[in-house]
Structure 1
Amino acid sequence: MASLIPQETLDEILQRIDIASLIGDYLVLKKAGKDFKGLCPFHQEKTPSFMVSPSKGIFHCFGCAEGGNAFKFLMKLENLTFPEAAQKLAQRVGIILKTEEGISSQHKEKDIFYKINRYAAWYFAEIFKTSQGRQASTYLAKRDISPETIQKFMLGSSTDAWDGLSQFLKSKNVPLEAALKLGLVRARKDGSSTYDFFRHRLMFPIIDSEGRVLGFSGRRLNDSKENEEPKYINSAESPIYHKGSVVYGLFQAKEALRKTRELILVEGNVDVIRLHQEGLTNAVAPLGTALTQMQVQFLARFVDRFILMFDGDAAGFKAFMRALPILLAEGHHPRVVMLPPGEDPDSFVRRHGSAAMTKLVSEAPMAMDWLVIHHLSQGGTTPSQKAEQVEKIIPFIDQLSSTVERQAYKTKLAHFLGSNSDFLSTLKRSENPSRTRGFSKVEKQEKISLERILFGLYVTYPQLIDDTLNEDVFQNIEDGFIRDLFQKSVTFYRSGAGLSWKQLLSDAADDKARILSGLALSDLFDVPENEVLQMVQDCLYRMKIQRLKGHLQTLTGEIHLAEIKKDPQLLNQLLSQKTEVVRTLKSLGEPTAV
């Protein structure tokens, strides 16, 4: 919906808004030079580290790294969508959104969909109380799910009839087209009539953080071998339900998430319900799909810490292995609870009690620690077998943003291989596509720091673009985010649109806004103008040297592995590449150990 609002309108809102006045409505700000300082509203602190710059139109917390422009502040603080934040700020500065009528029309349609789903949720809850819902209530009773928990999660039951819900919605004058769009009913192939999508199932309403019913998840009640229907089915994609961006249990967990800033991610709906009943009210589940990047980014609006708790079977381990790189790539360092074989959170609590589960959660190790120990225990005895296990771990380690963490893990792997850690210090992920697919490049602080400084200099002194920017600059930038920003900035500048931090922050995602706001409010660029050109040239030279040295260290690691695997053809190729890199470094006047 954000795309419905013209960019020039968004720019005008940001030009008119006084960000210090806006944020001052929510917290106490004190003057700090040309900027303002206060206690951060996004994390607990005693010493103010939250900065607001009226001239740049941005905020940044140097304690938790939260940052952005006025849109980002409202979205984060009030959990608003971008259009909602835009409307609120537009009203504040007296701007009428050009697409307000279109937005209102869409909002009206969505409100109707929410109302229809609320009708359906009420219907399922009422059926649950009747003889038609006895099998669903018996299922929950056997699992000791209390009436209070049933009410908390608005659990219900669908009937075995083909048109039970259809007839109910008809009695409420719900348009058939709307029910079809929501996936509550389906049209028969011959087009003669419709039938209920959810039949004879335990019903779980999927509720967003505002308490609106987005859709439903249904568990079959007939588990006989003859029943080939899926165990769980979820609502189809609709104008208000997108399964890859929502989670089950969010509404019920919202307050706990805000208080603890931590969540427990489990696989199933019943697992969520069980943990909530046992007092672990910060549990949610990804609704029958593998955890997605969108879900992680959405949940990061509520929490800082993740705990993974998947089933103690092969499927649970696969779910963990899929989820971990996604979380690491988004800058999170989750802990993991590995349940005993054959157990899931629900069965574990029923068998061992809530105290045992609470103990597991409190003692949960860091997921990376667990992963390393797991793979090294599978290592075998020959150098080749050990190298194979190390190669499985390296892609995960390279997701870590901390240099210290990466080095610590790689040192541990080096000891395992009986080698020194030098060849592992910058070892890249395996180039085998089957192993790297789905891994996004993670920013490497020791390299990106120079890239960010260079980028900040160009934004602060855009005239440098005409004097020094060429293709060589882009070739030496390894961080895709910074490279894209460079190219975007050049386009802005050369089109005559100007270039500023405020402009770049206007459409940056949350995690990127934190980086930009931190750069904008740093003192790195407060240098005399006559020294800027030399500073740029120094950055460019050092970046080129770093890239070459990084490549050299990578080749050293790959050569070591090629020697272990006894692959002479690959070894000769790598040695030739290393010789060329060493020659280039020497031509630049950079000594290097061969």
Structure 2
Amino acid sequence: MPDQIEEVKRKLDIVEVVSSYFPLQKSGKNYKAVCPFHSEKTPSFMVSPQLQIFKCFGCGEGGDVISFYGKMEGVAFGEALKEMAKRAGVKLISRKESPQEQQQEKIHGINRLAADYFHFLITEHKIGSVAKDFLKSRGVKEETIEEFSLGYAPSSWDSLGRYLLKKGYSLTDILQSGLAVRKEGGRGYFDFFRGRVMFPLRSSLGKVAGFAGRTLGDDQPKYINTVDTPVFEKGRYLFNLDLAKTEIKKKKEVILVEGEMDALVLFQEGIRNVVATKGTALGSFQIGTLAKFARRLVICFDRDAAGWEATKKGLLLAQSVGMEVAAVLLPEGKDPDEAVLVDRAAFEKLVNSAPPLFDFYLDSALSRSDPATPSGKKAVAAEILPVLKSLANEVEKAAYLARLAEALKIEEDVLWRQLEKEEPLEAGGSPSPAVSLPPRAPASKKELYLLALIFALPAERVPPVVRRITDGDLTDLRLAAIIPALRNYLKSTRRFRLENFSAKLDENFREALQEAVLAPFLGELSAPQLEEEFGLALQSVKLARLQRERKELVSQIRGAEKGKDALGVRRLQKELLKLNEKIELIQIHHGNNA
């Protein structure tokens, strides 16, 4: 199996696979992009075509083409390997699944069986007629019930649990799937979903990961969802993505609605690029998923102000990663599914002409605060400036700021100064800064930069620059170990090949090598510029080493003075004098080249 895994990776190009999800930008020998796995504005996600790996220097995610696919699609390694093997044309010999994969597969099996059970009740059993009548009253057709495998969870306390137990699943597994809950005190259980229309929640690969259940009346909560399980995480899920993603890719546009009912009715009526959030909050993973497929995000919630406010950070994040975000305001009292059933053409017109998110929030802010008063101006600016801060395009930002200045009757310069002080609102925590090498970077970062420069150079220039590094220059043990290994490798080969060196390197140090290769420090430098930069970086590293040695010598001199060791003091002072001369020479040379 390890040989087959390597064959899959060898036959796939990680750059091609990553580019199928989002665009990559060339950066020296590597490629870079805004990371899809966390919130950021400056690209720190790097891909190496030489080593066929990726790494984000913001959130730390990294790996090969198989782990990238698994992370993007939210599937375990075994499932990712199967899909990548298909793409590579490699036939896999069956492998033993890990305990985690076995448990995930078991929960998927329970969910699949439960979905069939719920679906049977709504389509074949009289007990489900109440749910079918409810769906028909909401405009849901028979074929839609079939296409989405909708179902009904009966009101009885444990009918699903008993059915699953009869099918051979243990109560422990059923509880872990989230379909049953232990009673207080721990004795007995009851079904989690009761008396609800059931919506199977499928992964992007079509596996039933969990369920949403909707009441048949106005009981609250209207929707409940499967709790987080080994195969389902609410904050990472988008309903209908498995069916909608082909149309989303085609149109480069996604319509985002609040509930499952809205999404399936829109899909039924021919608007097939629609997904629904699980609740109104919108997280960075969901935005990253949508940004893979679409350039334009059209949000279509009802007029409930709380819903818009809850999703605000996610929408601003969508803007910050370069998505065009528009907002549809439906007629008072209408949900998207109702609006489409009344007049699909009118709804599509609203979507196509939806104003940018800025317009929605500006109108909303102006309706709550009087822009004629100082306090009103302050309130509107406080609400709108973070929206502007999140915009990725500077031209768009300037245009909107001019409109804000006009609305508030304030000079643009005043707003620009205030904008500089604002923090952009982002989902999933504060944005990760771009990795860079500041003038007074810690020793390990300087050393990482030095190695990054070596591996960015043309192959024929690697041996001569490596010879300029002496033992003791590097203090980071992971990085220092790479240099003698590199010297030994260069003795045994005529031409340096990074992928061969990586394969021969001890596994304990391979991660440090990958970090150096992918480090997003360099930008677009020519070979002579890289070599010149290497010289400066090496001086900086040597200077840092000598300064550490000087600090240690000064400490030894103080100790000798304290111990009244006159000979030792004189000897150490001579060493210090020589060391200071070396430091002065490097500082002069470094200053002349700065």
In structure 2, what is the Cα distance between the partners aligned to 1:89 and 1:134? 43
In structure 1, what is the Cα distance between the partners aligned to 2:197 and 2:14? 50
In structure 2, what is the Cα distance between the partners aligned to 1:180 and 1:249? 25
Q: Check whether the contact 1:76–1:301 (CA below 8 A) recurs between aligned residues.
A: no
Provide the residue aligned with 1:108 in structure 2. Answer: 102
Q: Check whether the contact 1:311–1:342 (CA below 8 A) recurs between aligned residues.
A: yes
In structure 1, what is the Cα distance between the partners aligned to 2:16 and 2:285? 27
Q: How do 1:168-207 and structure 2 match up within 5 A?
A: 168-207=163-202
In structure 1, what is the Cα distance between the partners aligned to 2:452 and 2:104? 47
The answer to whether 1:275 aligns with 2:266 is yes
Provide the residue aligned with 2:284 in structure 1. Answer: 293
Q: How do 1:248-263 and structure 2 match up within 5 A?
A: 248-263=239-254
In structure 1, what is the Cα distance between the partners aligned to 2:183 and 2:410? 66
Alignment partner of 2:194: what SS?
coil
Instruction: Give the counterpart letter for 1:523 in structure 2.
Output: E
Give, in angstroms, the shift of residue 127 of structure 1: 0.8
In structure 1, what is the Cα distance between the partners aligned to 2:511 and 2:357? 35
Relative distance call for 1:372 and 1:448 in structure 2 (3 A) is: farther
Alignment partner of 2:390: what SS?
coil
Q: Check whether the contact 2:182–2:189 (CA below 8 A) recurs between aligned residues.
A: yes
Alignment partner of 1:425: what SS?
helix
Provide the residue aligned with 1:381 in structure 2. Answer: 372
CA shift digits 1:445-476 (9 cap, x unpaired): xx999989x999986644889xxxxxxxxxxx
Give, in angstroms, the shift of residue 417 of structure 1: 3.8
Alignment partner of 1:294: what SS?
helix
Q: How do 1:254-403 and structure 2 match up within 5 A?
A: 254-288=245-279, 290-351=281-342, 353-376=343-366, 378-403=369-394
Relative distance call for 1:416 and 1:330 in structure 2 (3 A) is: same
CA shift digits 1:369-422 (9 cap, x unpaired): 332344345443123321321121111111122222222222333333434322
C-alpha root-mean-square deviation of aligned residues, in Å?
5.0
Alignment partner of 1:247: what SS?
coil
The answer to whether 1:83 aligns with 2:73 is no
Q: How do 1:159-558 and structure 2 match up within 5 A?
A: 159-223=154-218, 230-288=221-279, 290-351=281-342, 353-376=343-366, 378-428=369-419, 461-462=450-451, 494=479, 496=481, 523-528=524-529, 531-532=532-533
Give, in angstroms, the shift of residue 216 of structure 1: 0.9
CA shift digits 1:485-507 (9 cap, x unpaired): xxxx9968655457999988999
Gaps of 5+ in 1: 1-8, 38-50, 61-67, 466-488, 538-594
> Which structure's relative contact order is higher, taking Cα pairs within 8 Å and 6+ residues apart?
2
Relative distance call for 1:451 and 1:153 in structure 2 (3 A) is: farther
The answer to whether 1:154 aligns with 2:149 is yes
CA shift digits 1:145-176 (9 cap, x unpaired): 11111111111111121222122212211221
Q: Check whether the contact 2:282–2:314 (CA below 8 A) recurs between aligned residues.
A: yes
Provide the residue aligned with 1:481 in structure 2. Answer: none
Give, in angstroms, the shift of residue 112 of structure 1: 1.5
Alignment partner of 2:242: what SS?
helix
Instruction: Give the counterpart letter for 1:113 in structure 2.
Output: I
Q: Check whether the contact 2:299–2:327 (CA below 8 A) recurs between aligned residues.
A: yes
Relative distance call for 1:302 and 1:139 in structure 2 (3 A) is: same
Give, in angstroms, the shift of residue 262 of structure 1: 2.2
In structure 2, what is the Cα distance between the partners aligned to 1:430 and 1:271? 40
Q: Check whether the contact 1:74–1:80 (CA below 8 A) recurs between aligned residues.
A: no
Q: Check whether the contact 1:13–1:89 (CA below 8 A) recurs between aligned residues.
A: no
Q: Check whether the contact 1:58–1:517 (CA below 8 A) recurs between aligned residues.
A: no
In structure 2, what is the Cα distance between the partners aligned to 1:424 and 1:490? 48
In structure 2, what is the Cα distance between the partners aligned to 1:21 and 1:337? 38
The answer to whether 1:134 aligns with 2:129 is yes
In structure 2, what is the Cα distance between the partners aligned to 1:83 and 1:179? 23
Q: Check whether the contact 1:126–1:156 (CA below 8 A) recurs between aligned residues.
A: yes
CA shift digits 1:258-314 (9 cap, x unpaired): 322321111011000111011111111122251111222233333333211111222
Provide the residue aligned with 2:470 in structure 1. Answer: none
Q: Check whether the contact 1:218–1:232 (CA below 8 A) recurs between aligned residues.
A: yes
Alignment partner of 1:300: what SS?
helix
Give, in angstroms, the shift of residue 70 of structure 1: 5.1
Relative distance call for 1:413 and 1:504 in structure 2 (3 A) is: farther
Q: Identity of paired residues, percent? A: 31
In structure 1, what is the Cα distance between the partners aligned to 2:118 and 2:529? 69
TM-score (norm 2): 0.64
Give, in angstroms, the shift of residue 18 of structure 1: 8.0
Give, in angstroms, the shift of residue 189 of structure 1: 2.2
Q: Check whether the contact 2:257–2:299 (CA below 8 A) recurs between aligned residues.
A: yes
Q: How do 1:559-578 and structure 2 match up within 5 A?
A: none
Give, in angstroms, the shift of residue 249 of structure 1: 1.3
Relative distance call for 1:126 and 1:69 in structure 2 (3 A) is: closer
How many equivalent pairs are there? Answer: 458
Provide the residue aligned with 1:41 in structure 2. Answer: none
CA shift digits 1:24-50 (9 cap, x unpaired): 9x99xxxx9x9899xxxxxxxxxxxxx
Instruction: Give the counterpart letter for 2:103 in structure 1.
Output: E
Instruction: Give the counterpart letter for 2:360 in structure 1.
Output: W
In structure 1, what is the Cα distance between the partners aligned to 2:14 and 2:408? 58
Alignment partner of 1:310: what SS?
coil
Alignment partner of 2:238: what SS?
coil
Larger radius of gyration: 2
Give, in angstroms, the shift of residue 54 of structure 1: 4.8
In structure 1, what is the Cα distance between the partners aligned to 2:182 and 2:355? 50
Relative distance call for 1:114 and 1:81 in structure 2 (3 A) is: closer
Relative distance call for 1:124 and 1:507 in structure 2 (3 A) is: farther
Alignment partner of 2:324: what SS?
coil
